[in-house]
Amino acid sequence: MSNKQNPIPDFEKLGRKVVSDAVRYSSVHALNFFKDSFQKQGWTDTSYQAWDKRKNDTRTGGALLVQTGNLRDSLQILSRSKLTLVFGTNAPYSQVHNEGGTLTIPITPKSRKFFWFMFKSTGQSYWKWMALTKKDRMIIKMPKRQYIGHSETLMRELNTWWVSHIEREFKKHINNI
């Protein structure tokens, strides 16, 4: 009979490693999932939903919500704890794009000058009528173009990874005993 006993696995250490790995993987995977919405031009919750097209398209061929890429690039982890990740953006216009809504924009003498400039440079009558309007404000209805939020597809992907990662780590640990 051997004097060597089977060592007791350090399950607490293994658990901390698995949780740490999960937070790191989830952070990267979720950010990439949200940024993919800009590439796919739509949101995936339980299924893919394409964003509504522009009504007055002055940027034909340009991707929706990607004029400069600032909105997409501003996506970040706002807070992180052991089991909670909160994603978001600090861009002031992000909420109206993600949730939709109504904007009221004042028409000032400076904006009328801009409308005249745009009319002269593009020749589009839309800008001329904006410069000549008697209204003192414009009301714009923004459609919902969700790119961040709860997604069943994302949660299913993370859950699949989580289960396989736990199995892999425990098998490695048990095989080393």
Q: What is the pLDDT of residues 107-145, one digit of tens each?
A: 999 999 999 999 999 898 989 999 999 999 999 898 999
Residue 20 confidence (pLDDT): 87
pLDDT of residue 121: 92
Position 26 scores a pLDDT of: 92
Is 1 a domain residue? Answer: no
- Identify whether residues 135 and 107 lie together within a single domain: yes
Could you list the residue range(s) of the whole structural domain that residue 114 is in? 101-142
Do residues 151 and 36 lie in contact, with contact meaning Cβ atoms separated by under 8 Å?
Answer: no
pLDDT of residue 176: 67
The reported pLDDT for the residue numbered 175 is 72
End-to-end Cα spacing for the chain: 18
Tell which residue, 99, 103, 108, has the closest CA to residue 136: 108
Among residues 30, 25, 19, which one has the least CA distance to residue 169?
Answer: 19
Shared domain for 61 and 130, answered yes or no, is no
Q: In a 3-state reduction of DSSP, which class is residue 142?
A: strand
Residues 69 and 117 in one domain: no
**How many Cβ atoms from other residues are within 10 Å of residue 26's Cβ?**
20
5 assigned to some structural domain:
no
Asked whether residue 3 is domain-assigned, the answer is no
Tell me, yes or no, whether 28 and 53 share the same domain.
yes
Beta pairing partners, 106? 137
Q: Both 166 and 85 in a single domain?
A: yes
CA angle 79, 83, 89 (to 5 degrees): 25
The answer to whether residue 6 sits within a structural domain is no
Give the number of domains in the chain: 2
- According to the model, what pLDDT value does residue 129 have? 92
Cβ 154 vs Cβ 120: under 8 Å? no
Average pLDDT over residues 62-80: 85
Rounded distance, CA 101 to CA 105, Å? 13
Same domain, 36 and 80: yes
* Domain-embedded: residue 79: yes
Given a cut of 70, whether residue 61 has pLDDT beyond it is no
pLDDT of residue 1: 47
Q: For residue 81, give the 3-state DSSP assignment.
A: coil
- Residue 4 placed within a domain: no
